[in-house]
């Protein structure tokens, strides 16, 4: 399963990302549906394209083939949260990371006058070469170049031992298709619509 190939943007008109608690439903004794929590909260991606022209259709055709037939995952970002709301400070690249998973917090070092704001997105590589993607829950201003104890949701995962590759600009999550797509000989003049679920590893 390949993680890293970005989702195409050719003809893209919608890419909504929302947090969804993982659960299973069953009927209670009184007929009411009861949801049992069976896993950690994940991001769900909803993608819609415009009616594709020939060039756009070829891009999506090749990309979807790898997802459908090879089972490859892909990476995507929150379309309208490309940049943090507050001051970025030092550009991503040499930012250091400390993870406090038990308290659902991260600390970033070497960020200069960075200000984390509620709704900002932060991602990094995990210890198993996956991607953590989280949303900042409260304002935290860096002091002496370190933004300490930034509250995050979902709960942070263990970071990669050597290269966590923190991203505050175009923070990335890893996803896999969750919607069966009808096979077509050609996607030209067709509109694509599908959902994807975050991969946690």
- Please report the beta strands in 21-145, taking only residues with DSSP state E, as ranges in sequence order: 23-27, 33-37, 42-51, 74-77, 96-100, 105-109, 115-116, 121-125, 131-136, 140-141
Dist. CA 167–CA 159, nearest whole Å: 13
Q: Give the pLDDT of residue 28.
A: 54
Q: Give the pLDDT of residue 194.
A: 95
H helices of the chain, where?
A: 54-69
Q: Give the pLDDT of residue 30.
A: 57
DSSP state of 113: S
| Two structure tokens written together for 69 | 């037939």
DSSP state of 41: -
Domain residues of the chain, as ranges? 12-78+174-198, 96-169
Q: Give the pLDDT of residue 23.
A: 60
Q: Give the pLDDT of residue 184.
A: 78
Dist. CA 29–CA 34, nearest whole Å: 10
> 3-class DSSP state for residue 100?
strand
What is the chain's pLDDT, residue by residue, as a tens digit (201 residues)? Answer: 455 799 999 999 999 999 998 765 554 555 555 555 556 789 999 999 999 999 999 999 999 999 988 889 999 999 989 999 999 999 999 899 999 999 999 999 999 999 999 999 999 999 999 999 999 999 999 999 999 999 999 999 999 999 999 999 999 999 999 988 887 788 899 999 999 999 998
């Amino acid at each position: 399963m390949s993680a890293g190939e970005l989702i195409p943007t050719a003809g893209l008109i919608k890419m909504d990302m929302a947090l969804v608690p993982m659960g299973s439903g069953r009927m209670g004794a009184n007929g009411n549906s009861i949801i049992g929590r069976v896993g950690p909260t994940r991001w769900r991606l909803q993608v819609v394209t415009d009616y594709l022209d020939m060039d756009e259709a070829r891009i999506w055709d090749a990309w979807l083939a790898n997802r459908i037939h090879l089972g490859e995952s892909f990476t995507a970002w929150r379309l309208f949260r490309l940049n943090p709301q507050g001051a970025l400070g030092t550009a991503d690249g040499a930012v250091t990371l400390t993870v406090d998973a038990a308290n659902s917090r991260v600390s970033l070092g070497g960020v200069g006058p960075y200000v984390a704001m509620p709704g900002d997105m932060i991602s990094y590589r995990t210890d198993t070469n996956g991607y953590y993607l989280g949303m900042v829950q409260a304002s935290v201003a860096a002091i002496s170049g370190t933004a300490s104890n930034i509250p995050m949701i979902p709960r942070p995962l263990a970071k990669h031992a050597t290269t966590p590759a923190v991203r505050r600009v175009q923070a990335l999550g890893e996803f896999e298709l969750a919607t069966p797509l009808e096979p077509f000989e050609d996607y030209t003049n067709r509109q694509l619509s599908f959902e994807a679920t975050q991969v946690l590893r």
